[in-house]
Homo-oligomer: A and B are copies of this chain.
Amino acid sequence: MDLKYNPEEEKFRTEVRAFFDAELPTDIRTKLQLGRRISKEDMVRWQKILFRKGWGAVNWPKRFGGTGWDIVQQHIFEEERADACAPPQNPFSLKMLAPVMQTFGNAAQQEYFLPRILSGDDWWCQGYSEPGSGSDLASLRTSAVRQGDHYIVNGQKTWNTMGQYADWIFCLVRTSSEARPQQGISFLLIDMKSPGITVRPIIMLDGEHEINDIFFDNVKVPVQNLIGEENKGWTYAKFLLTHERSGNAGIGACKRALKKLKEIASEQTSNGRPLIEDSRFRDRIAQVEMELMALEITNLRVLSATAKAQGTLGPEVSVLKIKGSEIIQQLAELKMHALGHDALPYVREALEMGWAGNPLLSSHYRSYAPPISGQYFNQRKTTIYAGSTEIQKNIISQMILGL
């Protein structure tokens, strides 16, 4: 039991930090620092830089072109990434689809798709939720009917994140309705350029376009785009969800947000004095920081126990998902409250990089202010998506506690 980083780990951190210092484009870094909109082009450009360094996939084994890093290395990388204000990589391909493909996909799929994910050539999105199937995912209805060497897909997916950018989508589809709902689900890879696909934006409560409805109208999908076996998709889906949740502790992002919060609380003033001098506000920061200190260790304990047992991730990741999402929400809430009055304006243009005007006449309305209330509103999603907090507690009580 030792929480100190050993010399190799420290050396690794130095290397990672130096890389971010040297290679992260300034324009992208600035957008992230200020909470401005980032584009697909920004994210792809960054993925290609990582790929050139050989760091295209920090969570993949070496044999698929990943870094093969252990969990402490991955933790350090993520911490430094967030601190450097580098964009997160596309999680749908790297952290969700890839583990499924590596475990259950066939060689042809692995050989074709994985390199294109690594290089940033393909943008993937996720087709899980449907209007009637949120928490109750197994009730999904989008159908895939086998016709010769194709499936014909019909239905609707929703809460699709960044699908407006996507080249490909991986979908859960119903290939049988005979047995239990879980037993008739398959896992399909669908080319977004296929005829019959319509993407309709959904505007979030913060006014931003980040999610979509996706409609499938007799979309033809080659059978070789089936992952694993037909009607076994539920197994792969659960595997994927566990991986998704394991990333949801988001320690790096939380640490970055905490640092930002402290900066804001040092710059904002109350009665002319820095807000952080107010013990009441400072105590609220302290309360979240304590929670985050604990979660960082809990996260590493869970992941290292899994790694040690060479096992797959278990229901313990639900603990990480619950706490991680709560912490990021609390930090967003505190950042908003730190602003006081300045949280009230809603200036859409100010979210675009390069917009030079100060919407308010007050020099006090700083560059970090415009996105902050929207971030608070937006972050309410984190306890809803990837299995709501209620679903995670069901998992804990059933799978860990045996209730």
Judged by a CB distance under 8 angstroms, whether A283 is at the interface is yes
CA distance in complex: A280, B283 (Å): 9
Task: Check A279 for interface membership: any CB of B closer than 8 A.
Answer: yes
Q: How far is the CA of A400 from the CA of B82 in the complex (A)?
A: 47
Chain A count of residues within 8 A CB distance of the other chain: 3
Contacts of A280 in B (CB 8 A): 279-280, 283
Q: Once the chains are docked, how many angstroms separate the CA of A280 from the CA of B278?
A: 11
0 or 1 for each of A276-295: is its CB under 8 Å from B? (1 = yes): 00011001000000000000
A289 CB to nearest chain B CB (Å): 16
Q: Which residues of B contact A279 (CB under 8 A)?
A: 279-280
Q: How far is the CB of A61 from chain B (nearest CB, A)?
A: 48
Query: Which residue on chain B has the smallest CB distance to residue A283?
Result: B280
> Chain A: interface secondary structure?
helix
- Number of identical protomers: 2
Q: Which residues of B contact A283 (CB under 8 A)?
A: 280
Q: Which A119-150 residues sit within 8 Å CB-CB of chain B?
A: none
Distance from A392 Cβ to chain B, minimum over Cβ atoms (Å):
21
CB distance from A366 to the nearest CB of B (A): 28
| Docked pose: A279 CA to B280 CA in angstroms | 8
1/0 per residue, CB under 8 A from B, across A253-288: the answer is: 000000000000000000000000001100100000
Q: How far apart are A273's CB and chain B's nearest CB, in angstroms?
A: 15
Bound-state Cα–Cα, A283 to B279, Å: 11
A337 to chain B, nearest CB (A): 16
Complex Cα distance, B170 from A15, in Å, reads 78
Q: How far is the CB of A276 from chain B (nearest CB, A)?
A: 15
- Shortest Cβ distance from residue A308 to the other chain B in the assembled complex, whole angstroms: 39
Chain B nearest CB, measured from A352 CB (Å): 41
* Cα distance, A279 to B279, chains bound together (Å): 9
A238 to B279 CA separation, bound complex (whole angstroms): 49
Residues of chain A in range 159-218 having any CB-CB distance to chain B below 8 Å: none
Bound Cα distance from A280 to B279, whole angstroms = 8
Measured in the bound complex, the distance between the Cα atoms of B283 and A223 in whole Å is 65
Q: How far is the CA of A280 from the CA of B281 in the complex (A)?
A: 11
| A279 to B283 CA separation, bound complex (whole angstroms) | 11
Closest chain-B Cβ to A123's Cβ sits at a distance in Å of 43
Closest beta carbon of chain B to A271's beta carbon, Å? 15
For the complex, give the distance between the alpha carbons of A280 and B287 in Å: 13
**With the chains together, A283 CA to B283 CA distance in Å?**
12
Q: How far is the CB of A284 from chain B (nearest CB, A)?
A: 11
Q: Whose C-beta in chain B lies nearest to the C-beta of A278?
A: B279
Inter-chain CA distance A231–B280, complex, in Å, is 58
Q: State how many angstroms separate the Cβ of A285 from the closest Cβ of chain B.
A: 14
Q: Shortest Cβ distance from A193 into chain B, in angstroms?
A: 46
A283 to B284: give the CA distance in the assembly, Å.
Answer: 13
CA A283 – CA B287 in complex, angstroms? 15
In angstroms, how far is the closest chain B Cβ from the Cβ of A162? 36
Interface membership of chain A positions 360-371, coded 1 if the CB is closer than 8 angstroms to chain B and 0 otherwise: 000000000000
Whole-angstrom distance between the Cβ of A309 and the nearest chain B Cβ: 37
Cα A143 to Cα B279 in complex, Å, equals 61
**Chain B proximity of A72: nearest CB distance (Å):** 37
What's the least CB distance linking A280 to chain B, in Å?
A: 7
Determine how close the nearest CB of chain B comes to the CB of A151; give it in whole angstroms.
41
Min distance, Cβ A281 to any Cβ of chain B, angstroms: 12
Q: Can you list 4 A-B pairs with a CB-CB distance of less than 8 A?
A: A279-B279, A279-B280, A280-B280, A280-B283
In the A-B complex, the 4 residue pairs with the smallest Cβ-Cβ separation, listed nearest first, are: A279-B279, A280-B283, A279-B280, A280-B280
